[in-house]
Structure formats: structure tokens, C-alpha cells
Amino acid sequence: MKIRITDGRSVPAVAGESIYETLKKNGVYLVASCGGKGVCGKCRVKILEGRSRVEAAGKLRKKDREENMVLACQAFPEENVLIEIPEDSKLVIGDKIAVAKSKDLLEFLHSVEAVFTPPVKCTALNLEPPTIHDNIGDLERVRKALDAQGIHGMNFSHDFVISMPKALRDAGWKVNLAYTDNMEAFALSPAECKNEYGIAVDIGTTTVVLYLINCIDGSLVDAGMTYNSQMRHGDDVITRIVHATEGGGILDLQRAVVDDINDMLAPLLEKNSVSRDQVVAAVIAGNTTMAQLFWGLDPASIREEPYVPTINVFPVWRAGTAKIRINPQAPVYTMPSVGSYVGGDIVAGVLASKMHRNSEIALFMDIGTNGEIAVGNNEWLITAACSMGPCFEGSGIRHGMRATEGAIESVRIDPMTLEPSFGVIGDSKPLGICGSGMIDAISELFFSGIIDQKGKFASDLKTDRIRIEDEGPEFVLYRGEIKDIVLSEADIENVIRAKAALYAGVSVLLKEVGLSLDIVERVYIAGGFGNYLNIEKAIMIGMLPDLPKEKFSFIGNSSIAGAYLSLLSQKMREEAEEIARKMTYMELSVSRGFMDEYMSALFLPHTNLDLFPTVRQAYNKLG
């Protein structure tokens, strides 16, 4: 049984497995922000030929159903099928951005260390074959050669020793010994130490990004992205922790994300002719809950006061322990975390921003499913997490999507006609709206008087762009042949709550260290926004502090960037641990000031306009 795709590809189908799962296992990723449980309604595919059992129609519109459109996660082929994947159902990673970014990272690394120092080292052992007059044990022969090179204190696992005698003989006693940072003998190979790859993985609450990296020249070989399948068990870390603490849930969640990584990796390895065993190191970056779940550790204590994680600075364990399908002996370095709600993704981000190396005071904001912020410089660092929800990643927004091709990324609304115009990533037909588009749209809706300070639609406007549906009023951004793209009052409320949490977090953090905004010389914006965010508009809605535009830098997915750096450099791993140790964590949920700040920020742009002089100015201009 097969699933054929209209682009010419074909994948083997398995009875009882959904089209979504089958495609995913074969490296064809669909948008599915609910993780494939039939809720988000985004993994639409059209069945052109063949019979499928369809379990649920989810959010499919009548028109979709009439056109034989199904949710791929709810459709189970019963014979060979031919499908068409609409553009807005395809999940794509910004490959070009990643590769461009990798050049900057490599340049930086070369400035820090002369050679790459991944967590696996390699040394050539030219052993003399044993003779009757020199018949010490194989392991003693290896130990002696290491001693002669000044390498002492090596540990040899049982697995290593089991395979050693044959490896030595097969290679004619001229071998390369790979070993880890913490002196664990790893593998013997006859080849020169020239074919080593590593992976850097960013385990986000919503998405998982994987880089395949050549550890010798540092180049980015390939990249992949998929949704985190743990979403089946909840959208945010709290619901996942609840699932984990209920019987057996930990293993479910661990398996889900490990499968995501393995499913993404297998086609990448095949495509690039890299064998599983050649991948000899991994770095994992994720928030504290994601990191603990990756290793199968119970996250229960993260959720309960006093919010204690099991580990901040992880030991280096083996790929085999986590069942990651690379070389099972490969060391897996986990980016260290600060506390329960500021994890290794943020430490990686701060590392990639380099703010910990400079004397100027910087503000770091990672806008993802959660919003984490850090302030500081090369002398001090303070950090906090503000619960924003995943709306800027497209979740919880009717037509929300990630910042990939087809996303409305910028919006203008003519204040006279109230007619919108917009820019779409890739200049293609719009498929949805991404975070920057939402910010633009809300700013324009507000400044054109369509919504008020609370985000509610005005009732007396002369425009057919506003319509009232069952779920409430909505603004039609785009009238499509297949579907319209709208922004509803509920969507706008979600965005306002998110931006309020972020802004309140920044305010409280700065107050805690007794600093005012003026002292901040640089603002790093990390997260799915990439380079698309319109700073002025984000300031207009009161999401970002009112600072000069030139102080802002976009650093994209800084979690994967920090993981990339850490994979290639021991110095970076040391600096990451230093960051994790040095950063002071502030628990906002027990901060008296936070709730006040949050309530004040639930307006556009804020209840206190003194904080937003440029917004006041713009507003006054309108009259």
C-alpha cells in the first residue's frame, strides 16, 4: 500500500497509520500545531484517488469536505491513495536563513578557538601487533599507547571493550580512538578522524529543529523542522507535566520527542549519505521541562512550589541512553538550565547573543511558546519567564502560522477606506498570518480606530471587512477563493495577553535590579520572528519597550544557534555553564509587582502612555 503525492513522491503506507504519521516518518512534514490529534485543522490534504477511512473532520469547512479534503491526521488509507498537499499545509524550515546564520556563527567560533572542539576527541593509535614476547592484553596495549601520548585516566565501558578486539585486528592495529570530554573511550575506527558529524537539536514546546553539522569543518550539512509530537498531550509545559505525572506519561512524552528527532534525522542522513555511526555527538537545547522529558526524568517538581528541577547542569550521557538513533556511544551534551522555567534554550540563546561577553547592558527576549527574558552583561545576568502562550508561533490563532512562505508578515490598513494591504513571505498567495503580521495588523487596526485600547471592535464602522460570526466579530484581511484569512476578537485578545505578559516581565526584571529602560543599550529578539518583526509596530501595541529602533537586533532561533556553537566548541560549553551558574532567576509568579504590571499592560499600548512617548506622539498626530 502506498501514498503517492502529486509532486511525484511516493511513500509506503501502513494499515492503521494516519496519512500524517506516514508522511512524517518519511520526511514529509505537514503543519499540525496540535501534534496530530484532529484539533487544529491545519494538516489538510486533498485525496484525489483511493479510499481512506476518515475518523473525524475537525475544523474542516463544508467546502473543503466537498472537495475531498481531509485532515491527514484523521485519515487512514485503505488502499493506494494519491494526494495533493496544499501549500498552507506544508511545514518548511527557512533553510537559507539557517545556512546564512551558520556562516556568522563559524566566523565567531574561529575568533574564539583555533580548532573545533566537539565533545568527542580523536587520537591516532599506531599499535604494534602483539607477539609471543609482547603479549599483554589488548586493553593494556591501548592504555600503554595512550600513556605514551600523555592521555591518562581513560574509562572503558563494557560495550567498548566487547567490540575492541575485533576492531583492533580488523584495522591492523592502526586505529583512531574517539573519546569524550569526560574521558570515556568511545569507538575505534580504522578511518582517519575525518568523517565526524554531530547534531544540534532545539526541542521547543511547539517545534523541534535539528541541524546536521560537519564537526570537522563546522559546516551546516542540512536542517529539519517538525512539530513536537508531545503536543498530542498538551500545548504548553504545564499540561505536559500533568500528563507526565499521571501513570506512564513520562515515557509517552519521551518517546514522542525522541521519535520526532529520529524521524527527522533518518531522511536527512540518507539524503546526505551519512551513516548513523558517523554521527558522534549531539547537543540538545530545550527548556527545563523539554530537557528533562527528553531524558525521561519526571518533571513533577518543576510545577510544584518551590519549582525545583531535577538537574540544571546535566551529566554527559550517551545517545543510546536516550535512544537517539546516532552512534549509540555518542556523548549527548544537554545545554544547562538556570531553573525550572528558564532552561537550556535560554542559556543557549544568551550564549549565541554574546551579551555575556560584553560590558554594555543588554536585554534578551525569546518569544516562543513561553516568553523568557534576560538582562545583564559580562558581570551580571538576571532572568525570568513570562507565560505568553504560543500565539506568535501561530497556535491559538484561527489562521495563525509560522513565519514561513505564504505567511502574511506585514499589514497596512488605509485609515480612510479601512481596506487592508499586506506583504506575504515569498511573495506568494497568502496562506495565513504569522506573528509579525498579527502585530502589524493589531497596530493598524488600533490606529485606524477599528479596535479600541482593549482590542474590542468598534460597532459603528462603515466597512464590510468586519463581520460577526458565531465565535464573535472578526476582520477579514484577505478574501480567498478557498478560504478567507481573518483576525478575530478572540485572536486579538490572545495577542494582547501575550504582549502584556512579556512587557510586564521586562518591567519587573528591570525594577528588581533598580535600572531604568534608558540604560539598556541593546535588545536581542530571539524566536520564530526571524527578521520579519516590525519594531515600530511592536512598540505601537506596547509589546516591546519604547527604545530607539537601532538598539534592536533580531537573532532568530538563538537556541539552536547556541547549541550549534556548543557542539563545536568546548569553550562555548564552558561559557554556557558559566551563564547558567551566574544568571539569577526571578520567579515572577511570586513577585508582588508582576500582576500589577500585567494588568496595566493589557491595553494598547499601555495604561501609562508616559512609558511610550513615541506612541503618544503618533497618536496625537492622528488627532
Contact with its own copies (CB under 8 A) among 150, 306, 514, 548: 306
Under the binding rule (CB under 8 A), the answer on residue 421 touching its own copies is no
Could you tell me which stretch among 71-79, 380-388, 508-516, 583-591 binds its own copies (CB under 8 A)? Answer: 583-591
Position 380 contacts its own copies (CB under 8 A):
no
The number of beta carbons lying within 10 Å of the beta carbon of residue 49 is 11
Beta carbon of residue 141, minimum distance to its own copies (angstroms, whole number): 8
Choice from 48, 115, 161, 468 touching its own copies (CB under 8 A): 161
Applying CB under 8 A, among 68, 80, 301, 614 the residue interacting with its own copies is 301
Cis peptide before 613 (omega within 30 of 0): no
Please, are residues 430 and 422 in contact by the beta-carbon 8 Å criterion? yes
Q: Is 248 in the site for its own copies (CB under 8 A)?
A: no
Task: From 290-298, 346-354, 394-402, 537-545, give the range in contact with its own copies by CB under 8 A.
Answer: 290-298
H or E element at residue 445: helix 435-447
Query: Which of 139, 151, 517, 609 forms a contact with its own copies (CB under 8 A)?
Result: 139
Tell me the helices (H) and strands (E) count for the chain, helix number first.
18, 28
What's the rounded Cα separation, in Å, for the pair 361 and 381?
9
Binding its own copies by CB under 8 A: which of 68, 310, 378, 531? 310
Please tell me whether residue 170 binds its own copies under the rule CB under 8 A. Answer: no
* CA terminus-to-terminus distance, the chain: 66
For residue 317, state whether it binds its own copies (rule: CB under 8 A).
yes
Stretch that binds its own copies, among 16-24, 135-143, 270-278, 525-533 (CB under 8 A): 135-143
Q: How far apart are CA 436 and CA 156, in angstroms?
A: 52
The secondary structure of 209-244 as a DSSP string is EEEEEETTT--EEEEEEEE-GGGGG-SSHHHHHHHH
Taking the complex as a whole, how short is the minimal distance between the CB of residue 351 and its own copies, in angstroms? Answer: 19
Shortest Å distance, C-beta 419 to its own copies: 52
Residue 579 has which C-alpha cell?
Answer: 551563564
Nine cell digits for residue 49 = 484517488
CB of 306 to its own copies, least distance (A): 4
Could you say whether residue 156 binds its own copies (CB under 8 A)? yes
Q: Which one, 297 or 560, has the nearer CB to its own copies?
A: 297
Residue 434 beta carbon to its own copies: minimum distance, rounded to whole angstroms: 35
Q: Which of 66, 107, 126, 132 binds its own copies (CB under 8 A)?
A: 132
Among 297, 367, 373, 495, binds its own copies (CB under 8 A): 297
512's enclosing H/E stretch is: helix 489-512
**Between the CA of residue 35 and those of 20, 201, 330, 374, 608, what are the distances in Å?**
10, 18, 29, 30, 40
Whichever of 138 and 405 has its CB closer to its own copies, that residue is 138
136 vs 468 by CB, closer to its own copies: 136
Strand spans (E) along 355-463: 362-367, 371-376, 381-386, 407-413, 420-424, 432-433
Q: Which of 6, 95, 165, 275 binds its own copies (CB under 8 A)?
A: 165
The candidate with the shortest Cα–Cα distance to 557, out of 368, 389, 283, is 368
Note whether 148 binds its own copies by CB under 8 A: no
Q: Which is nearer to its own copies, 314 or 524 (CB)?
A: 314
131 binds its own copies (CB under 8 A): yes
Q: Which residue has the cell 523539554?
A: 290
Question: Does position 249 bind its own copies by CB under 8 A?
Answer: no
CB of residue 299 to its own copies, shortest distance in Å? 10
Q: Does 289 bind its own copies (CB under 8 A)?
A: no
Provide the minimum distance between the beta carbon of 383 and its own copies in the complex, in angstroms, as a whole number: 14
Q: Which stretch binds its own copies (CB under 8 A): 91-99, 239-247, 305-313, 453-461?
A: 305-313
| Residue 261, H or E segment | helix 249-271
332 versus 431: smaller Cβ distance to its own copies: 332
Q: Work out how close the CB of 587 gets to its own copies at its nearest, in angstroms, rounded to a whole number.
A: 6
Q: Should residue 290 be labelled a site residue for its own copies when binding is judged by CB under 8 A?
A: no
Chain positions 19 to 78 lying near its own copies, rule: CB under 8 A, are none
From residue 447, alpha-carbon distances to 441, 452, 615 in Å are 10, 9, 10
CA distance readout (Å), 164 to 135, 157, 387: 16, 11, 51
Judged by beta carbon, residue 130 or residue 423, the one nearer its own copies is 130
Regarding 457 and contact with its own copies (CB under 8 A), the answer is no
Work out whether 155 is an interface residue with its own copies (CB under 8 A): yes
**CA 165 to mean position of chain CA atoms:** 42
**Sole binder of its own copies in the list 172, 315, 472, 593 (CB under 8 A):** 315
The three grid cell numbers given for residue 353, joined into one nine-digit string? 547573543
Distance, CA of 384 to CA of 375 (rounded, Å): 9
Element (H, E) at 169: helix 158-170
Query: At 504, is the secondary structure helix, strand, or coil?
Result: helix
- In the bound state with its own copies, the residue whose beta carbon lies nearer, of 5 and 291, is 291
Edge-first strand order for the sheet with 522-527 is: 552-556, 522-527, 362-367, 371-376, 381-386, 583-586
What is the closest distance, in whole angstroms, from the C-beta atom of residue 530 to its own copies in the complex? 32
Nearest approach, Cβ of residue 312 and its own copies (Å): 4
Cβ-based nearer residue to its own copies, 386 or 602: 386
Q: What is the CA radius of gyration of the chain?
A: 26
Q: Counting contacts by CB under 8 A, is residue 238 touching its own copies?
A: no
User: How far apart are alpha carbons 261 and 209 in whole angstroms?
Assistant: 8
Size of the site for its own copies (CB under 8 A): 45
Q: Cα–Cα distance between 534 and 409 in angstroms, integer? A: 9
Check residue 587 for interaction with its own copies (CB under 8 A).
yes
- Beta strand 69-71 with 81-84 is unpaired
- How far is residue 328's CA from residue 339's CA, in Å, rounded to a whole number? 29
Q: List binders of its own copies among 318-357 (CB under 8 A).
A: 321, 337, 339-340
Q: Does 610 bind its own copies (CB under 8 A)?
A: no
Closest separation in Å from C-beta 309 to its own copies: 5
Least separation in angstroms between CB 336 and its own copies: 9
Q: What is the rounded CA–CA span in Å between residue 387 and residue 369?
A: 8
If binding is defined by CB under 8 A, does position 313 make contact with its own copies? yes
Contacts of residue 513, defined as CB under 8 A and 6 or more positions apart, other chains included, come to 375, 380, 382
Give contact residues for its own copies (rule: CB under 8 A). Answer: 130-140, 155-158, 161-162, 164-166, 182, 295-298, 300-301, 305-313, 315, 317, 321, 337, 339-340, 585, 587, 590
